[in-house]
Structure 1
């Protein structure tokens, strides 16, 4: 059996294979609520054959959205609509769904990417005043964020915990904490964006404090043994002056001690002048370096597009699971094609069994949903 199609455990959650659909913002929510787009998109994910889907960055506060069209879990209406949608999705497929809880910090109040991107002013009808670790804008033409007070930091922590409770009630089977890509928790981690003089700034111990406290608050809010993972940016791509791999290793080890079930390793997003060397596997080495210091699984991402490429990462022990984002948007049946290429068997909905390629009768096995919806 190819490594890509062997089971893996994230704490108490077992996946049928090591293909993880990584979070991808859809910029299609209404007041933070799921829309018709999410219904078709999540159903597509559910039928893909992946082992796990982590849905897009979901804001714990209204001001924590990247854009006005981001998903949210800061109120019970949002929770109820997600719960109804997940109940539908789980009648289609037994694949587990997770949510990435997030706060965009100074990178919030943005236009949708296909509207040109860029930040909206706080007085724009679809904009608002952003917040951050320090009053340092992401770009020179952005309105400076408001530095969070100690009381406001505690509110953020509490709102992560409340969103986590809603996530569990909505039916998500795992929570991922978003501490990457230049968003709020990453803004506290990096000395480039965090110039505070209190207990949340300065030393590495102080800069990682908020991420650890958010993790602990979520852990206290959810049922015992409920799995929580964390996504981090391994480096700012800004040399020694920024957040780097050594600091990431320290954070990852601290998260493991607190009970994180995996670390999802990405990079960048913190500084407008980052110099990223993009190419196949360009972030995999970061995952490998972090993995050497942990016992919990590490998920690798970064222009992983072919089945053999993913398999090689696992067989060479560079990572324990593979995160796919744009590759699976482009090819929603990527896991099927990977199974065919690597000689594995994959479970699919029985309605699709007739599409099996000639000579590949052993490729597919059918599954039944938890609610026996196909009977």
Structure 2
């Protein structure tokens, strides 16, 4: 279901100007598809009296519909806050809220904050006016914190719907004593101040951005839980430990390093240890690198004079190690690699040319090329015969006097 406010007008998109907060369809940030929207309880008493309300960015909370108001997704409502009231949009209602509360481990109870009413025009005007102040307020807050000398960064500012309180989200690597900062903010902005520290990953999810893959950040679109990412995930995937390549917009390791980690761990079970030492007739060999996709292990001698690398399948290397465990050294890497290549080449022969990409194409005729060669040879023979009859060559040919004859300029009377 697309947003009705973003429909087109004269072939151009109008845009609802809600920056993804319209909560009426696919343009919402971190949306949940309500597949039970068309189903309702036959009795009003059995309806689930809780709704999910979305505020600025990705903040969502559950509220108790004490008056059983007929709410649908996208309605602007006034909810209970401390102090005063806040304005938000309904992002989910009905039976699907029950499963969402169970997923987030929130128990349904009357102690949850309540829904007051549907927002009237005055509530919406005050709410929009507060939203327009937030950006300038964030810039002023950064300036004040810099003048005091605090090592912190104000990432975002969120006004309460009635304008009585402002929440400042900040990031810092050290503990910050912001008692003086709160006094400065209270005198500058004339409202109640609340400071809330967030992590660098939460900051990236709030602000959004484009990753190195060219797509929007996962944390700002669909990722809701932030798992710890370690450098061992990059080592298992044979990636270089370069902070500039494996770090995201937040400065931490990319969350996508965990996506394929389980597949790599399953594939590495068939590989030998990377710190292996293979006893050969020519000396000891060690593992240089492994190729997970081709299931190959590259071996080389410990002797620095023998710097050639040899590739073998992982199961073959396991057999070599089993021979060493039995007390029998294997052949040299050159002999083993030659035997391996001979066996592989015998199976890779393409007798009927199935691997040829041009087997269904007809070869192009070279008739035109031959014709050009014939005409060139004929013209060459004619020129050589003419030179023989004239008795001259290109080097000794005399210039034609008629061709270079000078003409006298005509006079005016002629």
* Shared fold (TM-score, shorter chain, > 0.5): no
- When the two structures are superposed, what TM-score results if normalisation uses the length of structure 2? 0.23
The one of the two structures with greater contact order (alpha-carbon pairs below 8 A, sep at least 6) is: 1
- When the two structures are superposed, what TM-score results if normalisation uses the length of structure 1? 0.24
